[in-house]
Amino acid sequence: MELPILFFLVAGMLVYSLSPLFGPRKSRSDEPGAELRRRIADLDAEKANTLRAIKDVEFERATGKLSDEDHEELHSLYTRKAAEILADLETLRNEADRADDIR
Amino acid sequence: MVTFGTLSQFAALAFSLLTMACLLLGVMRDDGRWVQAGRRCLVSVAACATLASIALGYLFLSNNFQVEYVASYSDRALPLFYKLTAFWAGQKGSLLFWAWVLSLFSALVVYNNRRDPDSRLTPYVYLVLGGTLSFFLFLLCVVSSPFDLLDFVPKDGQGLNPMLQNPGMVFHPPTLFLGYIGFTVPFAYAIAAMTTGTTDASWIKKTRAWNVLSWIFLTVGIILGGQWAYVELGWGGYWAWDPVENASFIPWLASTAFIHTAIIQERRGIMKVWNMALILLTFLLCIFGTYLVRSGVLQSVHDFGATGLGGYFLAFLAIATIGGVYLLAESYRQFKTPNALESYLSRESTFLFNNVILLALAFATLLGTVFPFLSEAITGNKVTVGQPFFNQVNTPLFLVLIAITGVCPLIGWRKASPENLRKNFLRPALFALAAAVVLFASGIRMSYALLSFTLCAFVAGTILQEFVLAVLSRKAVTGEASWTAAPRLLWRMRRRYGGHLVHLGLVLVVVGITGSSAFKLEAQGTLSKGESLAIGEYELKYENFRKYEKLNRTIYAATLGVFTDGARIGSLDAERRYYVNARQPTTEVSLRSTLKEDLYVTMPGISRNGDITLKVAVNPLLVWIWIGGGLMVLGGILAIIPKRRRETP
Amino acid sequence: MIPFRQKAAILLVLSLLLVSPDIGLALSESEVSESLLCFACPGEPLSIDRCGGGDQMPAAISRMLGEGKSKEEILQYFVGEFGEEILTIPPKRGFNLVAYIGPFAVLLLGVAVAFLLIRKWSSAGTHADRGADGTASPPPLGDADRRRVEEALSNFHEED
């Protein structure tokens, strides 16, 4: 009794698993603009890291691990870096929007 | 049902091989259809493995003793609960459990990635998961199937070892396995990242929950194992450094190192290659651990290949090692980033040292575990490497680890100003010094114990100071009261303070270990009814004797009155149990546990005239090991509760 | 060969110092038995032993303790009887030293590597931050940029 059930179950799984093969071909290749999007994503990650760095140094000063001078130095360093990244991001985003418009 | 189980196993193996084939084709032909088919095959593996597991559970419940595995680990008298848990009592069932859980985890990974089904990484992740599954399913189908039949049908099974009939032992192996298996997922992501040249920290971010959760499972498994040894084995200890225990401790150390440097990569984008190496090491150690525990190599050192599993496991380990190291070497250039730190004095650099110590501990433990084999192979000399050896070598290393755990919260991320560090160092150091003076004055002279307690005080002091300072600064900003600011801070920065909570738990564990090993009292004696035995401030009076039947065992119990200063503060039942189908009686531990100390009683002998032999121990502070362990687990859970709000770009 | 031996000896002395046992209390049976295996069930330490087959061993230990023998003498007696395998701890000589010294050697090596790495990384970090000469002060940040960063910060809700 249980064996026919198993047979049908496995047959069902096989159909489920292999059915995508009979659909239309899907290329895994990157669509146009993927490279640009990847660069934006990378830059986004870098932005998050830098913003987190600013929060970090604020927190470390608040809990007394960083002197005011060191805090000042690092804070301005990261702020500068963050400003650069934000500017770059904006340029890239505009570029991406233009590419979308053309398409 | 036997055929059903066997066929399900074969179907699972077929699907896992199909998974690999489809994914390879999909990647090579650059065809998303094949990738999707491979993904669905992986889900089907989970379904088939589930069917096989249901079949094995059913065979246990229906007392089908023609199945060799069921006959070996169950009998008719076994309580229902233990019948189900006998599933993983032996090697064959454990293998099925491994494959089943890994297949479920794989299906979960597929589910988690449902929204981005075709990222560059995932096909390779599934490929590694499918490969590992294929290995275990191959072992199940070809080498060691739990569905193998005996030539005859025995009237009853041999039963489950009475020592394994204990709740701790029921949950110890599966939690440990969950930890072992869980690390397969980050390993798969790491391999995928190396293969595709994905150099960012996305794989670390995606697998953070898997890492920490697997670490939590390993921790719970280790604690439960210790608890089981303590209440069941009756020798008064909880950890004997035997190879099976070490097999769980070594990957725990490696994964702890990984969790720390993974944070650095996530935050700073550095140490990429090192993290790959660490997760590879953790995975290999997990497989090695499974092999040590369940291959039978430890029971009989000399029939290395007796179960036929040894060779396969070694081959799998070799393939994984060579493949992993090859990929590491290949992608080294790609992953090598110009590493830069703002300051030599930063939490990042303390993490580097913590890695060194954790790995030295792992190395020491591994070396000690395999040293008997090594020694015999190289010099022909047979030696035993036992508990005192590990205590000697690992204790100093562990104390260094505790010390650095204390320094860590004093040093901030990215940079610490030296003068601030000095200032912050002062209070915890004074606190630790005060603790040391108090302990010394109260008569503690053992150097290790004194050092250990002092370091614990230091670590607790630094963690407390960091939290109090953070609460104060939050109060200054928000104007909240302390009792609202503290829990809010704990919740808002739960990753950070979850980690600190784990460290606080570790401190409590170390306090418990130090107290119970340095100040243990032991006594032994034979008593007639009415006589007493004294230990420490306790006196145990033999008051009564009973014999009764319960479930599958006969119990002989002696009631002991517990007295301090002549006042009766309670009673303990020392027991010896005779299980149906067991050849030897077992000693049950009776325990009176307080925050201060455990009174630990076993009864190794009962003579015909009713006299009893008692072994008694007082283990100071031991309960803090379990409390600290619980805190470590809680801290880990706190650290992975996902945040609700997400950054909006 | 000699330098290595010297180093090994220093390391050994260091590790022995670190692990020197506490002196004071009278020798108890369990202190001796923790260094011995049960002869009846291979691999099981005497202190954990449950088989009962090794009952003669504790008896012999307490007899010898009664005779005022030291731990070393008692262990030596059992080694004579059953060979070195009866000890739970390998004697500190010959190849066994690898097990004793190896971990500490790895620790020292690791610490050295970590030190070098941190020095390298931190010098790379500070150079990159402060310009080549380390003194040049960068131009001040414009107000617009500063505001933009502050806005991004206030939208940034990542924990930690």
What DSSP string describes B268-323?
A: HS--HHHHHHHHHHHHHHHHHHHHHHHSSTTT-TT-TTTTS-HHHHHHHHHHHHHH
Interface test with B, best of C23, C44, C117, C122 (most B CBs within 10 A): C122
Given a contact cutoff of 8 angstroms between Cβ atoms, the answer to whether B64 and B70 are in contact is yes
Those residues with Cβ within 8 angstroms of residue B563's Cβ, 6 or more apart along the chain or in another chain: B532, B538, B539, B540, B541, B569
Any chains having at least 3 CB pairs less than 8 A from chain C are A, B
Q: Are strands B538-550 and B553-564 parallel, antiparallel or unpaired?
A: antiparallel
Which of helix, strand or coil describes residue B554? Answer: strand
Cα–Cα–Cα angle for B530, B534, B539, rounded to 5 degrees: 65
Tally the C-alpha atoms within 13 A of residue C150's C-alpha that lie toward its C-beta: 7
Residue B597 token pair: 């100390």
Q: Where are the beta strands (DSSP E) in B306-411?
A: none
Q: Are residues B301 and B384 in the same domain?
A: yes
pLDDT at C1: 38
d(CA B356, CA C113): 9
Q: Are residues B251 and B372 in the same domain?
A: yes
pLDDT at B211: 94
Q: Are residues B182 and B320 in the same domain?
A: yes
**Does any CB of chain C come closer than 8 Å to the CB of residue A34?**
no
In angstroms, the separation between the Cα of residue B41 and the nearest Cα of chain C is: 37
How many Cβ atoms are within 10 Å of C46's Cβ, its own excluded?
26
pLDDT at C7: 53
Tally the C-alpha atoms within 13 A of residue B597's C-alpha that lie toward its C-beta: 20
**Does any CB of chain C come closer than 8 Å to the CB of residue A79?**
yes
pLDDT at B649: 33
d(CA B470, CA B488): 11
Q: Where are the beta strands (DSSP E) in B314-441?
A: none
pLDDT at B198: 79
Given a contact cutoff of 8 angstroms between Cβ atoms, the answer to whether B453 and B406 are in contact is no
pLDDT at C55: 67
Closest CA relative to residue A73, chosen from A99, A54, A88, A92: A54
pLDDT at B186: 95
pLDDT at B117: 59
Given a contact cutoff of 8 angstroms between Cβ atoms, the answer to whether B559 and B543 are in contact is yes
Residue B438 belongs to some domain of the structure: yes
Element holding B618 (H helix, E strand): strand B612-620
Q: Do C114 and B353 touch (CB under 8 A)?
A: yes
Residue B42 belongs to some domain of the structure: yes
Query: Which chain C residues contact residue A77 at CB under 8 A?
Result: 129
Residues of chain B falling short of pLDDT 50: 299-306, 646-649
Nearest to C85 among B378, B383, B645 (CB): B383
Say which residue, B338 or A6, is predicted with more confidence.
Answer: A6
Which of helix, strand or coil describes residue B543? Answer: strand
Residue B646 belongs to some domain of the structure: no
Q: At what angle do helices B272-294 and B91-112 cross, to 10 degrees?
A: 150
pLDDT at C134: 44
pLDDT at A51: 87
d(CA B117, CA B120): 9
Residue B397 token pair: 């290393």
**Does any CB of chain A come closer than 8 Å to the CB of residue B116?**
no
Residue B643 token pair: 């945040």
d(CA B41, CA A14): 8
- What tens digit of pLDDT does each residue of A12-56 get? 999 999 988 888 776 655 556 667 777 888 788 888 888 888 888
- What tens digit of pLDDT does each residue of B212-240 get? 999 999 999 999 999 988 988 877 788 88
Q: Output B564-567 pairs: Cβ under 8 A, ≥24 positions apart.
A: B564/B537, B564/B538, B564/B539, B565/B537
Residue B405 belongs to some domain of the structure: no
Q: Are residues B429 and B387 in the same domain?
A: no
Report how many helices (DSSP H) and strands (DSSP E) chain A contains, helices first. Answer: 3, 0
**Does any CB of chain C come closer than 8 Å to the CB of residue B381?**
yes
**Does any CB of chain A come closer than 8 Å to the CB of residue C81?**
no
Query: Which chain A residues contact residue B33 at CB under 8 A?
Result: 20-21, 23, 25-26
Tokens 């770009």 — which residue? B649
Q: Are residues B369 and B471 in the same domain?
A: no
Q: Are residues B512 and B525 in the same domain?
A: no
Query: Which chain C residues contact residue A55 at CB under 8 A?
Result: 153, 156, 160
Q: Are residues B365 and B431 in the same domain?
A: no
**Does any CB of chain B come closer than 8 Å to the CB of residue C59?**
no
Q: Are residues B150 and B203 in the same domain?
A: no
Instruction: For residue A85, give the chain C residue with the closest CA.
Output: C149
Q: Do B413 and A62 touch (CB under 8 A)?
A: no
Q: Are residues B515 and B574 in the same domain?
A: no
Nearest to B340 among C28, C85, C128 (CB): C128
pLDDT at B229: 87
d(CA B462, CA B500): 10
Q: Do B8 and A6 touch (CB under 8 A)?
A: yes
pLDDT at B295: 66
Residue B203 belongs to some domain of the structure: yes
Give chain C's radius of gyration (CA, Å): 30
Q: Are residues B8 and B109 in the same domain?
A: yes
Those residues with Cβ within 8 angstroms of residue B528's Cβ, 6 or more apart along the chain or in another chain: B542, B609, B610, B611
What mean pLDDT, rounded, does chain A reach? 82
pLDDT at A27: 63
Closest CA relative to residue B509, chosen from B401, B417, B431: B401
Q: Are residues B357 and B441 in the same domain?
A: no
pLDDT at B307: 60
For the residues of B590-615, what is the DSSP string, one character each?
EEEE-SSEEEEEEEEEE-TTS-EEEE
Given a contact cutoff of 8 angstroms between Cβ atoms, the answer to whether B533 and B527 are in contact is yes
Query: Which chain B residues contact residue A19 at CB under 8 A?
Result: 37, 40
509-528 of B, contacting C, C-beta below 8 A: 522
The number of distinct structural domains making up chain B is 4
Which residue range is the domain that position B532 belongs to?
Answer: 521-620
Query: Which chain A residues contact residue C141 at CB under 8 A?
Result: 76, 79-80, 83
Query: What single DSSP character describes residue B559?
Result: E
Amino acid identity of residue C13, one-letter, is V
**Environment class of residue C6 by beta-carbon count within 10 Å: exposed (0-12), middle (13-18) or buried (19+)?**
exposed
Given a contact cutoff of 8 angstroms between Cβ atoms, the answer to whether B620 and B515 are in contact is yes
Nearest to C110 among B360, B371, B385 (CB): B360
pLDDT at C135: 47
Assign 3-state DSSP to chain A and report helix, strand, coil percentages, each to 5: 85, 0, 15
Cα–Cα–Cα angle for B117, B122, B125, rounded to 5 degrees: 145
Question: Among B133, B164, B195, where does a domain finish?
Answer: B164
d(CA C134, CA C128): 9
d(CA B572, CA B472): 49
Instruction: For residue A58, give the chain C residue with the closest CA.
Output: C160
Closest CA relative to residue B622, chosen from B218, B179, B229, B173: B229
Question: Among B107, B132, B164, where does a domain finish?
Answer: B164
Phi, psi of B586 (to 5 degrees): -115, 150
d(CA B145, CA B91): 10
Q: Are strands B553-564 and B567-579 parallel, antiparallel or unpaired?
A: antiparallel
All structural domains of chain A with their residue ranges: 31-102
**Sequential pLDDT tens for chain C (160 residues):** 345 555 555 554 444 444 444 433 456 777 787 788 877 666 677 776 656 555 678 788 888 888 888 888 888 888 888 877 788 888 888 888 999 999 999 999 999 999 998 888 887 766 554 444 444 455 666 777 778 888 788 777 664 4
d(CA C145, CA A86): 9
Q: Output C9-15 pairs: Cβ under 8 A, ≥24 positions apart.
A: C11/C101, C11/C104, C11/C105, C12/C92, C12/C97, C12/C100, C12/C101, C14/C104, C15/B393, C15/B396, C15/C100, C15/C101, C15/C104
Q: Are residues B503 and B575 in the same domain?
A: no
pLDDT at C89: 83
d(CA A48, CA C152): 9
Instruction: For residue C131, give the chain A residue with the closest CA.
Output: A77
